Amino acid sequence: MCIGRFIWGFAFGCFSVVCAKLINEITPVELLGPFGAINQLSLTFGICIPGTMALLYPRDILTTVDPDDDFYVNSYFRVIWSIPLIISAVQMLLLMTCFRNESPVYLKEKGEEEKLLAVMKKFYEPQELRRRLD
């Protein structure tokens, strides 16, 4: 259980840094505050999911759970760990399929103008695009 918590904490810490950096590079300056707040609220909600689900776990399993009811004793921990795992799997699939773009800052630093224009066209209208690039 401790190893799983360590891996989950490490992954969550990495994700929170990378996601905030990407939001900072993509979002227009005037919308950075709301987007950052939504990101932080989403991360906090994600942290709360396993803890909230653990509240349903009986405090004293031996006296409150029917011995014939095997679910709480042998299987409920799987439910607690599987919900965040499913959410993470959906996020990874989306990142690998739908959101496969390099950040605009990275592309500009590397001098890849064509790729930069293609990525920026996804975020901005054509008349706004040149102003944002400058």
- Domain positions in the chain are 2-100
Which one, of 89, 90, 130, lies nearest residue 113 by Cα? 130
Nearest partner of 50 among 10, 3, 92, 87, judged by Cα: 87
- Of the two residues 129 and 65, the one the predictor is more confident about is 129
Neighbours of 104 (CB within 10 A): 20
Q: Averaged over 59-76, what is the pLDDT?
A: 64
Residue among 76, 73, 54 nearest 64 (CA): 73
User: Looking at this protein, which amino acid is placed at residue 58?
Assistant: P
Alpha carbon 47 to its chain centroid, in Å, reads 10
Residue 75 tokens read as 């299987």
Contacts of 22 (CB under 8 A, 6+ apart): 103
State phi, psi for 88 to the nearest 5 degrees. Answer: -65, -40
Confidence of residue 27 (pLDDT cuts 50, 70, 90): confident
* pLDDT of 59 over the 70 cut: no
Is it the case that residue 61 has pLDDT exceeding 60? no
What predicted TM-score, i.e. pTM, was given to this entire model?
0.62
pLDDT of residue 72: 67
Closest CA to 88 of 2, 10, 1, 3: 10
Give the model's confidence band at 34: pLDDT under 50 very low, under 70 low, under 90 confident, else very high.
very high
pLDDT at 73 over 70: no
Q: Which residues make Cβ contacts (< 8 Å) with residue 128, sequence separation at least 6?
A: none
What average pLDDT score do residues 42-57 get? 80
